[in-house]
Structure 1
Amino acid sequence: MWCTSCALAVEGVLKRLSGVIEVSVHYPTATVWVKGDPDAIQLVALAPHVASIGYQLTELEAVSDAHARLEQESRYLTLRLVVGAVFGMWTMLASLLIYAGALPSHQVESVVAWASGAFSLPVVLYSGLPFYRAGWRTLHAKRPGMDVLVSLGVIGAVVVSVGLLWRGSAEVYFDTAVMLIVLLLVGRLVETLCRQRGLRAFDSLALPSVDVVVCQHSQRETLPVEKIPLGAQIEVASGETIPLDGTLETPGWIDSAMLSGESVPRFYASGQKVYAGCRYLGVETPLMLRVTAPAGQRRLDKLCEQMRRFQAQKGELQTMAERFAAWLSPAALVLGGLTLPVAILFGVGWEDAIVRALSVLVVACPCAVGLAVPLASLAGSGQAMQQGIALRDPAALETLAKVHVIVFDKTGTLTRGQHRMLHVALRNSKDKAVFRQMLYSAVGHSEHPLAYGLLHWAKPSGEHGGQPDPAEIVEIPGEGQRITFSNGEQWWLGSAVWVEHQLQQQGQVLPINAQDPAYGFASQVVVADGQGWLATLYLADQPVTDAQVTIRQLQMSGYGLAMISGDRQGPVNWVSQQVGLPKEACYSQRSPEAKAKLLAALPSPTLYVGDGVNDTLSLAAAGVGVVPMQASEAAREGAAAQLLTPGVSGVVRLLGIAKRTRRVMVQNLIFSALYNTLALGLVVVMAIPPLVAVLAMAASSLSVTLNAARLAWSEPEGNGSDKLN
C-alpha cells in the first residue's frame, strides 16, 4: 500500500462483502484485521476482491519479510526522489528566473518556460507514477483519497501550463507539479523510515537462526533450526540458548529469566516443558528435549505474531481521523469543481479561476489527517518495546492515557512467587550452623515450591563442615519428607500437621513454642528429629524489588491503587505493608469471578495487572490488561501488553508512554484538522498560487510525521519519577 488512502480503499472493498462484519486495515504495518463468518473471511475468499483494485492480500508476513519489503520500498522511494530532485531542480530554477523577472526578453522567458516543462517530464511521468496508480485504485474502490487530489493537482498544473505556453504566456506552473511530487516523496520516505523503526521493535522478540544437533536412531545430525520437525529429539550444550520449545527428556538447571522473570536458575525435571529463549546451565552432560513447537510456532514467535495481529485494530482517535479524511477528499473534489464556475460568475478570468480550482485540490490533500494517529501509535509501540513492554494491542495506548484506577494481583505480580526466609526458631540456637548445613543437604534435590527459599537461606558460605549427607529421602507429596542421613540420624521435614502426626507415632508432641503467632501470615516448615521438635522455619513470598517504588510513583501521580488476591488475609496484609498500599485498598480471598466483579465496580477505565489463569477474567473485565514477564499463557492471551523485564516498574513506563503518545495524537489531529479546514476556506476566498498551496500542504504533512517521530526517535527514559508527567 502506498498511503492511508490505499488502506481505506482496501477496507472499503472488504466491508462491502457479504458475511464480513468488521474490517480494520492498518497502513503502517500493512496488516488487515477481519471479523465475520468463517467462510467469508478466508484468504481465498478475500484476496480476489482486494486484487480487483490492484493490491495483493497474503498471509501475515514474517518480520524479516516485512523488513525486506520496507527496505525495498525505501530504495524505490529514494530512486524516485533522486530523479525528482535532479530534474525538478532545473524546473524550479527556470521558474525562479521567470518569477524574478531576471530574463532579458519575453522570447527568452518563453524558451526557459518550455525548458522548465521539459525538465518536469521525468518528475511527472516517473517520480509521480505511484500517486497516479494509487489514485486510480482508490477511485476504482469508490474511496477517493489524497492520491486522487495529488494526481488531479499534478495533471491540472501540467495541462494549465501547456495551455498557457500554447497561448504564448510564460507564467507556467510546472514548478507546482514538481514541488508537489518531490515534497510528498520526501514525506513518504520519512514516513517509511518511521515505519521501519517501529518494526524493529519486533526484533527483540526474534530468536537467532542457529544450527541444532538432532539425535535420531543413535545418530547425530546438525540441521538449521528452521528445518527441525515437530517431535524431533534435539541436544543443547551447556551455556547455550534453547532454540525450540520442548519437553525435557533429561533434567537440568535452566535460566528462564527471559520468559519467566525468575532471577535465578531453576532445576527442571524430565517431562517438564521449557521454552525457546531459556538458557541451559548444565556443566557436564548436554540437555536432551523433545520438540513440541518448531520454528514459527514457538512461544516467542506467537507473541510477536499476536502483537502484529492486534496492531491492525484501531483506537478511537485513529477511527476519528480516518472518518475526517474519508469525507475531506470528496469534499475537496466537489469544492474544487465548484470553485471554477463560481469564480467565473464573480468575474474572475478563466486563467485565475482554473488556478484557484487547482490550489483547492492541492491544499486539501489529507495526508496529515491520515497519518496523525497511526504513526503516533506505531511510534509509541516502538518506544514501549525499547523500554521492555510488548504492546499486543497498540490501540490500548489511547485507553491507558485515560486510566483512573490501577489494580494489581498479588502472587507473581507484586511478589516474586519465590519464598524467602523471614524467621527461624531453633530448639538450640547454638546448633544453627550445623542445622543449616544439614538442611541444605536435605532439600538440595527437592522440587517443592518452598525448597528454593530453604536452599537460599541454608546455602553454606564456605566449605562444607563435614556434616552427614542424606542416605535416603522419602517424599510424601503435599505433606513432607522423611530423611535418613548417612550417620543414621532421621529428620521429618514438612507441614506442622504432618510432622506433629509423625511425632505422635513416637509418643512425642509438638511444643507450644513450635509455632509463633506473630508469623501467622507466613508459610511454615517444621523440622523434627529423634529427640522431637528441632526447628520451625517461616517463609514468605517477597515483593518484587521495584514494587514499593512503583506504588509510590503511581500514588504521587494521582492514580487510585488496589490489590485483589485469592490468598489469605494475613499474607495480603503483610505484602500491602511492604509495598505501601493501604489495607482498605487490599482485598483477599477473592475468586476469579469475584475479582472481575469488584474490578467492574471501580471507576473506569481501569488497568489490571495480573499473571495467572485466575486473572484472565479480570484482564478481560478491565479497560486494559497488562501481564508481568512470568505470566501464564492464559493470562497473556487476554492482555493488551506484556512486560518483558522482571518486576512491575514497566507499568509506570507504559503509562508515561501512553500519555505522551495520546498527547502527540491529539496534537497531530487538531493541527491537521485545523489546517485543512482553514486552508480550504482561505484558498476559496482569495487567490493563492498553487506553489504556495503545495508548500503549505507538505509542511503540514511533514510536521505531523516529525511530531510522531519524536516518540520513535526519543531515547528511553530512565527510572525517574517524572515518567508520568
Structure 2
Amino acid sequence: MTPTSDSPTTRRAEALYSVQGLWCTSCALAVEAQLKRLPGIGAASVHYPSATLLVEGEPEALDEPRLAAAVRRLGYRLGPPEAVADAEARLDAESRYLTLRLLMAVAFGMWTMLASLLIYVGAMPSPRLELVMAWVSGAFALPVVSYVAFPFYRAGWRTARARRPGMDALVSLGALTAVGVSLWLLSRGSAEVYFDTAVMLVTLLLVGRLVETLCRHRGLRALQALHQPPAEVQRWGRNGWQPCPLAAVAVGDRLRIERGETLPLDGILQDDEALLDLAPLTGESAPRRCLPGDAVAAGCRNLGAALVLEVSAAMGECRLDRLREQMWWQQARKGELQRLADRFAGWLSPLAVVLALLTLVATWLAGVPTEESWVRALSVLVVACPCAVGLAIPLAGLAGSGQALERGVVMRDPGAFETLARIRSAAFDKTGTLTAGEPQVQAMHTVAGLPDAELLALASVAARGSEHPLARAVRRYVQDVQDIKDARGAQDAGAGGELEVVQAEEVGGRGRRVSLGDGRELLLGSRAWLAAQGVATEQAADSGESEVLLACDGTVLARFTLGETALPGTAETLAELRRHGLALALISGDRAPAVRRLADAVGMKAEECYAGRSPEAKAKLLAAMPQPSLYVGDGLNDVVGLATASVGVAPLGANSTVQEGASVALLKPGVGGVEVAWSLARRTRRVMRQNLVLSGVYNLLALGLAVAMPIPPLVAVLAMVASSLSVVANSARLAWGEDEACGAREDGQLTERLAAAP
C-alpha cells in the first residue's frame, strides 16, 4: 500500500492487487463498479491485459479481505500482484482453456454450418428433409451453445449483477436469442433456423480471445526479459563458501559469483576488480570494468574471474524488482483515452439492448412478420458487442509499454505516456545525465623524464584503495591503458615489478601519501595540497578542468587533467530531437566553462545553455519553456525541475528519490532513451486514437444500419468480429512494427559485445 496524501482530512492511499478469473474487459469494468460502491473507496482501476487492480481510498478501506469479499461476490478472486512466472502460467492456462473450447466449437460447429448451408442453397429435395436437416443443425449446435459458450454466459451474469453489462451480456443475449428463435421456428415447422449464427458468434469470439491472449503473452515478454535470479547461490559462512537458497540471503551477506554467472542481487563489489557485461540490464555494447567499492546491480553477467559482492538489497528489493513493480502500477492506471473508451463501452451495451427492443416492437407494429422482427433485433444485439471498444486502448498501451521496456525505457505513468507524445521542449541536466557523472582522465602530461609505463605503475599504486572520485578516475585510466596494451600484445620496458606499499594515508578531499618499500614517497592530489607539502608546482590557468598531480620525493612526475565526457550517442539524440522541432536547453549548476565545453561537444548552441543555476532557477526556466515540457535529471537538485516539467525522466543511475518521482525511467546509459520514449509515445497515442475511432465508428454505424435495414445475423457476426480483430491487428502492428528496423542495430550491438568480451 502506498500513501498519496498526509493530510488528516484527506488521507488517501493506493493498493495494488491482481484479479483472477477475468474473462473480458467487461469483467474488468464490473469489478471496478463493484469496488467503487464500497464506502471509503475513491477509485478503482482494472487493467484487463495484465489482470492488475489499482484501488485508491482511505487506508482502512483498502483492507485486502474486505476487497476480496466484494470481488468474490461477483465470482472473481483477489490476490497480491503476480510475479512474471505466475502471469505466464496464467496466460498459458487461459490459452489451453480457449484452445480446447475452440476445437470443440470447430468440430461441432462445422456440421452445424454444413447443415445450414444445405438448407440455404436448397440442396434438400423436400421440405421434410430440410426440417430434418434443421434439427441436425441444432443438435450439433447444442454442445457449442451450452458447454463452449458457458464462459460467456457466466461473465454476462456477473457483469449484470454488478450493473455493468457489457460485451458478454450482449453475446449471451445474441446466442440465446438465435437459439430461441430457431427453436420457435422449428416448433412451427419452419426450417429457416439460425443455429449457425449462434455457433459462428461463439466460435469467432473465441478466435478473437485466443489472438488477444497471444498478444498479452508478447507484452509479458518484456518483463520476462528482466533478470530471473537463480534459486541457489554461494554464500560465505563459518565453513567457507556454502550453497544457500537465494531467499535466505540477507543484506550484508557476501556472495561468490563465478565467471559467466549472472549477479543474482544488488551489491557492493569486494576485494578485486571485476569485468561485467551490463548488456542484459542497460544494453551497453562493451563490458565495464568495476573497482572495489562500486555498486553493481542484479542482472549483470560476470565476464572475468570469480568475484565477491556484499549484498545491498535482498530478494524482491533489487532495482529490477522495483522496475517490475513500477510496471504493475503503470499498467493499472488509466490515461485519458482509456477512461474515454470505458465510458463509451459503458453506455453502449444498455443502448444496444434498448435499440434491439425498440427494433423488435417497431418492426412488429409496422407489419413485419414476427420471425423477421426477431431476426432484426438479433442483428442489433450482435453488431453492438463492444469488443473492439474494450480492447482499443489496453492492447495498444500494453504493446507500447512492452516495446518501450524492450528498448530500455520504463513508462511509469500512462498519463505521462500521452503527454510525452505532445511535448514541445526538452531540457537536460549535465552531470550524470549527459555525462557519466564521474570524472574521466582526459590526458596525462609527463613532467619528469620517466617512461610512461613506470609513471602509470606509480600512479596506480598511489591511487589504489582511495574512494575519492578523482583518484578512482586515475586508476581506471591506468587500467584502461594497460588493457589496450595487453590487447595489442605490447611489452613495456621499465615497468618494473610489483611495487610494495608500506604505508598509505589519505587526506580527505585533498590528496594521498603513499610510502613504498624502496623508500620512495608518492604524493597524489591537488596542486594546492602538493604545494602545501613543499612540492614546487607551477601556477595553472583556470580552464574549468580538474587536475591531479603525481609527485615522488618532492618532484612532480605527471599531471592528469580530468573532465566530463558526453555519453555515447548524446549528440545524435539531441540533433534528432531538434530536427523534429523541439526546443532544447542544457540547465546545470556547474561552472560556465564546463557547461560550454560539453555543449560544444554535443552540438548545443550557446543560447541553449544555462550554467550556475540553482534548483529553483531550473524550475523557473522549465516553466518558461514551450509546454508541454520534458526534463531529464538525476540528482536531488533536479527534483523541483522534474516536478515542474510536464514529464520527468530519470536516467540510469539516478538518485532513488528522483526515480520515484519521475514519470519515465531509462535503463540504458545516456539520453538515447528520451528519443525512443518520445517516438514510441507518439506512435502509441496514434494507434490508441486509431483504435478508438475505428471501434467507435464501427459500433455507431453498425447500430444505425441494423436498426434501419435488415442485416442477416451471420453478416452481423462477421462484421463484429472483423472490428475486434482489426483493433488487435493494429495494436500488434505497434508491437512488431519496428522489429526489422531494430534487428540490424541489435545484431551490431551483439557483435560488439562478443568482440569486446575476453
Please, what TM-score do these two structures have when normalized by structure 2? 0.88
Rounded to whole Å, the distance in 2 between the matches of 1:126 and 1:52 is: 23
Count the aligned residue pairs.
709
SS in 2 for 1:412: coil
Q: How does 1:193-272 map to 2 (within 5 A)?
A: 193-218=214-239, 220-228=241-249, 232-246=253-267, 252-253=273-274, 255=276, 257=278, 264-269=288-293
Residue 414 of structure 1 corresponds to: 434
Rounded to whole Å, the distance in 2 between the matches of 1:141 and 1:295 is: 39
Rounded to whole Å, the distance in 2 between the matches of 1:603 and 1:11 is: 37
- How far residue 56 of structure 1 moved from its aligned partner, in angstroms, is 0.8
Residue 344 of structure 1 corresponds to: 364
Contact 1:84 1:127 (C-alpha < 8 Å) held by counterparts? yes
Closer/same/farther in 2, CA of residues 73 and 176 from structure 1, 3 Å limit: same
Residue 752 of structure 2 corresponds to: none
Q: Which moved more, 1:316-325 or 1:479-488?
A: 479-488
Moved over 6 A (4+): none
Contact 1:419 1:540 (C-alpha < 8 Å) held by counterparts? yes
Residue 19 of structure 2 corresponds to: none
Residue 465 of structure 1 corresponds to: 494
Matched, 1:718 2:742: yes
Closer/same/farther in 2, CA of residues 531 and 475 from structure 1, 3 Å limit: closer
- How far residue 252 of structure 1 moved from its aligned partner, in angstroms, is 5.0
Residue 5 of structure 2 corresponds to: none
Residue 618 of structure 1 corresponds to: 641
Contact 2:174 2:381 (C-alpha < 8 Å) held by counterparts? yes
AA aligned opposite 1:264: R
Q: How does 1:641-680 map to 2 (within 5 A)?
A: 641-680=664-703
Q: How does 1:530-549 map to 2 (within 5 A)?
A: 530=553, 532-549=555-572
SS in 1 for 2:288: coil
Q: How does 1:586-625 map to 2 (within 5 A)?
A: 586-625=609-648
The partner residue of 1:119 within 140, 159, 180 is 140
Rounded to whole Å, the distance in 2 between the matches of 1:102 and 1:424 is: 95
AA aligned opposite 1:566: G
Q: How does 1:3-14 map to 2 (within 5 A)?
A: 3-14=24-35
Residue 413 of structure 2 corresponds to: 393
Q: Which moved more, 1:540-549 or 1:393-402?
A: 393-402
Let me know the Cα RMSD of the aligned residues: 2.5
Q: Which moved more, 1:542-551 or 1:562-571?
A: 562-571
- How far residue 695 of structure 1 moved from its aligned partner, in angstroms, is 0.8
Q: Which moved more, 1:682-691 or 1:424-433?
A: 424-433
The partner residue of 1:449 within 441, 450, 469 is 469
Residue 511 of structure 1 corresponds to: 538
Rounded to whole Å, the distance in 2 between the matches of 1:217 and 1:457 is: 38
- How far residue 203 of structure 1 moved from its aligned partner, in angstroms, is 0.8
Residue 142 of structure 1 corresponds to: 163
Contact 1:377 1:395 (C-alpha < 8 Å) held by counterparts? no
Closer/same/farther in 2, CA of residues 466 and 213 from structure 1, 3 Å limit: closer
Rounded to whole Å, the distance in 2 between the matches of 1:489 and 1:16 is: 80
Rounded to whole Å, the distance in 2 between the matches of 1:238 and 1:367 is: 51
Contact 1:393 1:641 (C-alpha < 8 Å) held by counterparts? yes
Q: Which moved more, 1:378-387 or 1:467-476?
A: 467-476
Closer/same/farther in 2, CA of residues 404 and 449 from structure 1, 3 Å limit: same
Contact 1:254 1:267 (C-alpha < 8 Å) held by counterparts? no
Closer/same/farther in 2, CA of residues 100 and 720 from structure 1, 3 Å limit: same
The partner residue of 2:299 within 268, 271, 277 is 277
Closer/same/farther in 2, CA of residues 281 and 387 from structure 1, 3 Å limit: closer
Residue 309 of structure 1 corresponds to: 329
- How far residue 287 of structure 1 moved from its aligned partner, in angstroms, is 1.8
AA aligned opposite 1:405: S
Matched, 1:502 2:533: yes
Rounded to whole Å, the distance in 2 between the matches of 1:40 and 1:473 is: 60
Rounded to whole Å, the distance in 1 between the matches of 2:649 and 2:374 is: 56
Residue 640 of structure 1 corresponds to: 663
- How far residue 440 of structure 1 moved from its aligned partner, in angstroms, is 3.3
Rounded to whole Å, the distance in 2 between the matches of 1:228 and 1:426 is: 49
Contact 2:462 2:512 (C-alpha < 8 Å) held by counterparts? no
Rounded to whole Å, the distance in 1 between the matches of 2:507 and 2:55 is: 53
The partner residue of 1:691 within 685, 689, 714 is 714
**Percent sequence identity over matched residues?**
51
- Consecutive unaligned residues of structure 1, counting only runs of 5 or more, are none
Rounded to whole Å, the distance in 1 between the matches of 2:201 and 2:721 is: 8
Closer/same/farther in 2, CA of residues 219 and 362 from structure 1, 3 Å limit: same
Rounded to whole Å, the distance in 1 between the matches of 2:200 and 2:150 is: 15
- How far residue 645 of structure 1 moved from its aligned partner, in angstroms, is 2.4
Rounded to whole Å, the distance in 1 between the matches of 2:87 and 2:337 is: 26
Rounded to whole Å, the distance in 1 between the matches of 2:600 and 2:385 is: 58
Closer/same/farther in 2, CA of residues 138 and 244 from structure 1, 3 Å limit: same
